[in-house]
Structure 1
Amino acid sequence: MNGKMHQRNFVYKLLWHLVHTVFTIFKCIHDIYLQLECKLIEWRLGNRCEAQILDNLQKATAKLKKMPKHLTILLGTEEPSHNDLAKLVLWSLTAGISFISFYDVQGKLKMNEEELKESVKRILPKTANVIWHNPECSYKNGFSGPKIHVQVLTQKDGHKALVETCKNLSKSNLEISIQAVDEDLRKQYKFPDPDLGIYFGDYFNLCGYPPWQIRLTEFLNIPSHHNLKDYKLINVLRRYNKCEQRVGK
């Protein structure tokens, strides 16, 4: 009896090791295939000029049924690459996205915001307008041609907004409620709540992103924003297009 049980356990272990080995080999082959596919796409698209990239982006996004009005970018722990983030602004403008915000928990992008503005200015078509927002000032209407609103946020901006809301509600005669707090925060941010959020890196972490803004945000991943290719943004927009946002239903 014990001999049969020992033999049966040996067979089970052998089968388990066999399945594990097959799965490991399959995963390795799959990972190699994905890497080769990415390299092939990069090789095919690597020699295109900027006009061809924008034309391809416009054609690809024109086929989508829905586009985010506000795209928010979570840098995570990555060092900001101003040239690549500038491309995101231009590509978002081309895709018809009206608002884009960058959230950098480290605050480095905010400290060097002028460099980002210069990087955007170098690649922006003369007919297009980028409208930069910050909590201290507001923009004026009157821009002609395509435009996109841009905002750089840090963790401190979320703290400041809560402090200002507390001050505003304490001075007013309004009853303090969730609705009153929500309305005041919206007035401060001026941007609509983001529809789509892109985070970089292997792990999703909000890193203190203001939670009242992302109740309905769909978060999707791109491994890194360094040396970013347009097809990666297109893939994210296609994935977002397939998402069903139930808005709490």
Structure 2
Amino acid sequence: MVGREETTMFHRDLHPDGRPVKPEEREQLLRKVLPPTSYSDETTRSTSPKPVGRKRRILWSRFVTRIHLILFAIIQAVFSIYLRSRYLYHVIIDRIYTIMYYPHRTPEYIRRDVKALSRLPTHISVILDLHSHDRYDADSSLENLVNDVCEICAWTASAGIPVLTIYERTGILKEYLQDTHRAITQTLRSYYGQHPPSISLRAPHLQSISPPRSPNTLPADATPPRLEVTLISKDDGRATLVDLTKTFAEMAQNRKIGPEHVTGELIEQELSDLTMKEPDLLILFGPNVQLQGYPPWQLRLTEIFNVEDHQGVAYHVFLRALHCYGKAQMRFGR
């Protein structure tokens, strides 16, 4: 044990008689409070981890890591095989449909392809993408987009479907309404000859284009169909619904209408007049279901169709969508 006198001497570094404490004396004072050297060695050896246990933990960690890598490689290989097989299957199916069903720019062939269907939609809609062809060449992308619009219009008119709505997110087709109408008319003439269907092209909040047809140019026994085409964009979706809500709110504040007058039927009628009516079938010419801001109110009961692992406008996708619609059961919540 260390006494009080030795403790005071250690802290003050002075002897009781005033002499300074030498280093050897301080070391002797410290040794009295330190544990024995043999006990310290035994404690260190007993508390230190055993080399054998540490090696086992290292080996187990490496083993678990290898197992995880093997499982990851197996899952990745299986998933890659599945994707490749699905892609190959769809490529073969697309090729078969392309060979069996090709329009040859002949309306009779298209009518023959849809003749066996139990029913046809009266209003179809398609979603097209301006940048699906060439993201770096705006002129080429616009030209290809117009060509796709013309072909879809020709297929729709040949199938006997009277209403077509074309959605393009940016709305660039609205800026070339006259040129688009001219291109569609030329494509219809390449299908029908000198007596193409009468086409009406319109866009929300813009003046529609519907040139009158002289009855003298038609033969007596010919009744070519009439096609109504509507061009819409993302501005005709939620923005139109917001504008309609503001209009109803202003009318309610001015006491022109009451809350009981704002019904679902009224909203549906106003949206149909402002944009379009609800289509029976929506066709996506892409591998994924991406609506890209399509007006949501017009898709409550619409049948949506797309083909996996396929990109681009094709006649066989259009025909398969009509077959899918013909087989669909409209239960309407029942």
User: What is aligned with 1:38?
Assistant: 94
Return the match for 2:124 from 71, 74, 78: 71
Change (3 A) 1:82 1:76: closer
Change (3 A) 1:199 1:232: closer
Structure 1 unaligned residues grouped into runs of 5+: 1-12
Change (3 A) 1:177 1:15: same
Are the aligned partners of 2:129 and 2:169 in contact in 1 as well (CA < 8 Å)?
yes
- Work out the CA distance in 2 between the residues paired with 1:204 and 1:151: 21
Query: CA RMSD, aligned part only?
Result: 3.8
Change (3 A) 1:109 1:20: same
User: What is aligned with 1:163?
Assistant: 243
Change (3 A) 1:26 1:211: closer
User: What is aligned with 2:179?
Assistant: 115
> Cα distance, 1:18 vs. partner?
8.0
- Work out the CA distance in 2 between the residues paired with 1:22 and 1:210: 39
Change (3 A) 1:17 1:141: same
Are the aligned partners of 2:164 and 2:228 in contact in 1 as well (CA < 8 Å)?
yes
> Cα distance, 1:240 vs. partner?
1.7
Identity percentage of aligned residues: 22
Deviations 1:110-148 (A, max 9, x none): 223333222211121324111112334467999964111
Point out which structure has higher relative CO (alpha carbons under 8 A, 6+ apart). 1
Q: Which amino acid aligns with 1:90?
A: A
- Work out the CA distance in 2 between the residues paired with 1:187 and 1:19: 52
Structure 2 SS opposite 1:35: helix
> Cα distance, 1:213 vs. partner?
1.0
Structure 2 unaligned residues grouped into runs of 5+: 1-68, 132-140, 216-222
Return the match for 1:208 from 293, 313, 334: 293
- Work out the CA distance in 2 between the residues paired with 1:212 and 1:114: 28
Deviations 1:91-110 (A, max 9, x none): 11111211111111122222
Between the two proteins, the alignment pairs up a number of residues equal to 240
- Work out the CA distance in 1 between the residues paired with 2:317 and 2:115: 16
Are the aligned partners of 1:76 and 1:199 in contact in 2 as well (CA < 8 Å)?
no
Change (3 A) 1:28 1:105: closer
Are the aligned partners of 2:162 and 2:225 in contact in 1 as well (CA < 8 Å)?
no
Are the aligned partners of 1:76 and 1:207 in contact in 2 as well (CA < 8 Å)?
no
Return the match for 1:55 from 105, 108, 120: 108
- Work out the CA distance in 2 between the residues paired with 1:224 and 1:62: 27
The higher radius of gyration belongs to 2
User: What is aligned with 1:199?
Assistant: 284
Are the aligned partners of 1:72 and 1:100 in contact in 2 as well (CA < 8 Å)?
yes
Deviations 1:167-208 (A, max 9, x none): 26716435453323223222323x431111112333222222
Change (3 A) 1:21 1:147: same
71-80 or 136-145, which moves further after superposition?
A: 136-145
Structure 1 SS opposite 2:277: coil
User: What is aligned with 2:202?
Assistant: 133
> Cα distance, 1:42 vs. partner?
4.2
Return the match for 2:319 from 228, 234, 237: 234
